[in-house]
Each structure stands twice: as structure tokens, then as C-alpha cells.
Structure 1
Amino acid sequence: MTRLRLPLLLALPGLALGAAGVLHPHHLTYDTARSWFGLHLAGLVVFPLVGLALMRVVAGRRDPLAWLVRLAAYGYATFYTALDVVSGLAAGWVTRRIGPGVPRPEEVSLLFRLGTPIGEVGSAALLVAVVALTLDLARRRPRAALLGLLLVPGAWLVHTDHIFAPQGAIGMALIGVGTGLAGLVQGQVVTLRADPDATDRP
């Protein structure tokens, strides 16, 4: 169980955001503004943890692929948090404050025009991070490259659908599962290097 503790922790942020995506309103209106704001307030804490989990998989290493994973994961965490603040917290709060029955003003649409491209930079960085991690896994343990079948489609779904259900929510869940399994594989690689006579497990 101790060996599984870290992989489970690494999987948790993506799985939590996938679950939150099921509750995420598809449209921002006065009626949905409260839940829109609340979910993005929680996301302010959880979104960066997805990037931190990816960084943790390559912890303690200084090779170029590990640094690419770190830098891309940092880019995701930074820019996606900005999306969360602008298009989530700010837009949700302003829409709620405007009151019921009032058409959404242009100023709220301008928030989305600011937040959306910032978020696209973040989700593109997430794609770079998971592709780099997949390449790293392939180099260090070829069969583990199959985790790219979870990580890369997951990041693509987040890039195209945020965490909106079903595609975006599924995407974040795939990233969570893929990151957790990558952490498990990383632990096995460290064990094998410490004990060269250990049995190579898939």
C-alpha cells in the first residue's frame, strides 16, 4: 500500500477535476454564476496541482526531457490558473453581481476574450508536458510509453473542451490516471536501478 500512496496522490488532482467537470455549467448565466464561481474557486487550488504532479514524476533528474516536462508543466499551471481567474472567478462574480434578467454585458464577453487565449496557451503547454513525459517513459521503459494513450488524448480533450462534460471531464480524468501510473512506473525504475537483480515488471 505504501508503494501506491504516491501514485494515488499524483492521480488525485486530475481525477478531482474530472469529477468537477461533471458539475461544470456549460453556459454562464445569472442562474449558473454561483456554481461557476464556486467551481473555479476550488479550481484555483487544484488546476496547478496537475502540473505539480507531472513535475513530481521526473523529480530529482536534470536531463533535458525532465526539464522540458517541468517547464511545460509550469507553463500549464501558470497560464491555466490565469484562465481560471479571468474566465472563471471574474466572469462568474460579475455575472452574478449584475443580477437576474439582465443581458450579459459586453464587458463580461471581453473577460472571455482575454481568458480564452491565455487558457489555450496553458492547455498547449499541458500537451507539450505529456508528450515529453511519454517520450521520456518510452526511453526509460518502452512498454510504459503506452501511458501516452491516456495522457496525450486526455490533454487534447482538455485543450479542446476545458473540463466541460463529457469530453473535458474525461480528458482530465485520463490525465489523472496516466500521471498516477507514470509515478508508479517511475518508482519501479528507481527500484530497479537500486537493485539491478530485481525482476523487471511491466
Structure 2
Amino acid sequence: MLRSRWTRAAGYAAPGLVLAGAGLAHPLALAPGTAPWWTLLHVFLLPAFPLLAAAQWLMLSDAPAALRRPGRLAAFGFAAFYGGLDAVAGISAGTVVHAQHAVTPVTGAVFAIGDTLGHLGAACFLAANVLVIAEVARRASWRAAPGAVLVLAASVSFYDSHIFWPRGVLTMLAVAAGMFLLSLASETRPGQAVPVFTSS
């Protein structure tokens, strides 16, 4: 039971950790020299970001319908709109810059629509996390607080940090830690302390 609890919590943390690692490899700016890697990295990221939505979706499995339905709708919105950002401002913009050997007004137009999609996705991410926190708090009371603080702060930061180093990487690490703690809290029975790491 204890091992499965830690395993599930690690699973909820994994998407944030993967994306933090990707952020370390993400170019700080799109330019002709970085365009090929910019494009390829965003191809890899297309299936990675929806893993955050999958974690939100699963954490709402036992929630009442009033939390589960809007929470899952918001998680779906995050996966859809943020995937659009990756496809447009990632793959398309990188391809355009590589083909034109320059950052041109076309690149700016592509980024403009990508930013719109990204902001919609980030708003959905925040909304879904608020409902996830509400569900964990309903079951775990104050034990949800540490994870809730991390996830809320990261969700707000994510609106304009993406996964760029340094703030975006720290944001994803906070998402990972927050989801880990929320998962542990949600499985802690009343009167039972949240488990801590030991040397054994």
C-alpha cells in the first residue's frame, strides 16, 4: 500500500520533471542557427504536454461531478490549446525561420497566434489545477496546503514562462513537486501523517 502510494505520486510528478528537463534543452530564442533544434524539440514536446492534462484528469477520478466534469473539461482544453501553441510557435515557426534563414515578419505573425493559443491553454491549466486542489482539499483538508501552494504558484507562472530557463524550468519543477504532494495528501487517511522519506 505504501509503495503503491509513492509510485502513484511519482507518476503524477513525472510529466513536470520531463518538461523541466526539456526546458534545460530549449533554446532561449528562435534564430536561424537554433531553428532546426527548435523545430525538432517541439515535435518531441507535442506528446509531452498532454501528460500534464492526463495527470489532472486522473487526479479528478474520484471527485464529485461538480468538480470532475469542469476539471476534466479544463484539462482537455489545456491539452488542445497548448498543443496548438507547440505546433504553431514551435514546429511551424522553427520551420519558417529555417526555410527563410532569418526571423521575418512572418515569424512574428506565427508567434502572435501561437501566443494566443498558449495563453488559452495556460488559463485552462490553471482552472483544472484549481479544481484538482479543491478535490484534494475536500478529502485531505489542510494536508493539501503544501502541494496546493506549489501548484497554484506554478500555474500562474506558467502563463508566460512556458518551459524556458530559468523560470520555466523552475515552474515545471514546482508542478512536479506540487502534484507529488497533492497525490500523497489525497491518499492520506484522516488522522494519519503524510509519509516522509527515511534512510531505510
TM-score, structure 1 as length reference: 0.87
* Percentage of pairs with the same residue: 31
SS in 2 for 1:26: coil
Name stretches of at least 5 consecutive residues in structure 2 with no aligned partner. Answer: 195-200
Counterpart residue identity of residue 139, structure 2: R
> What is the number of equivalent residue pairs in this alignment?
191
| 1:13-52 alpha-carbon deviations (Å, 9 max, x no partner) | 1111112112211210011112211221111010010011
Alpha-carbon distance between aligned partners in 1 of 2:69 and 2:184, rounded to the nearest angstrom: 20
Question: Secondary structure at 2:193's aligned position in 1?
Answer: coil
Q: Which of 177, 192, 195 is equivalent to 1:200? A: 192
Deviations 1:121-146 (A, max 9, x none): 00011111112222222222112133
Offset of residue 73 of structure 1: 1.2
8 Å Cα contact 2:158-2:168 kept in structure 1: yes
Change in CA separation of 1:165 and 1:73 when aligned onto 2, cut-off 3 Å: same
* Structure 2 counterpart of 1:178: 178
Amino acid at match of 1:201: A
1:123 and 1:158 in contact (8 A); partners too: yes
- CA-to-aligned-CA distance 1:57-109 (integer Å, 9 cap, x gap): 1214443122222111111111000000000011111211223xxx3222221
User: Given residue 71 of structure 1, which amino acid in structure 2 is its aligned partner?
Assistant: L
Residue in 2 aligned with 1:13? 15
Alpha-carbon distance, 1:3 to partner: 2.7
**What root-mean-square deviation, in Å, do the aligned CA atoms of Structure 1 and Structure 2 show?**
1.7
Q: Deviations over 1:124-171 (max 9, x none)?
A: 111111122222222221121331111011111111211111111111
Please say if residues 146 and 181 of structure 2, whose CA atoms lie closer than 8 Å, have aligned partners that are also in contact: no
Q: Which has the higher helix share?
A: 1
Instruction: State how far apart, in whole Å, the 2-side matches of 1:180 and 1:66 are.
Output: 19
Q: What secondary structure does 1:200 align onto? A: coil
Determine which of 49, 56, 65 is the counterpart of 1:63.
65
Aligned match of 1:167:
167
Secondary structure at 2:186 match in 1? helix
Distance 2:120 2:128 in 1: 12
1:34-113 matches, within 5 Å, as: 34-99=36-101, 103-113=102-112
Q: Distance in 2 between matches of 1:151 and 1:72?
A: 15
Please identify runs of 4+ aligned residues in structure 1 that moved more than 4 A: none
Unaligned runs of 5+ in 1: 193-197
Return the TM-score normalized by structure 2.
0.88
| Secondary structure class of the residue paired with 2:56 | helix
Query: Is 11-20 or 78-87 further displaced after alignment?
Result: 11-20
CA drift of 1:180 comes to: 2.4
AA matched with 2:152: V
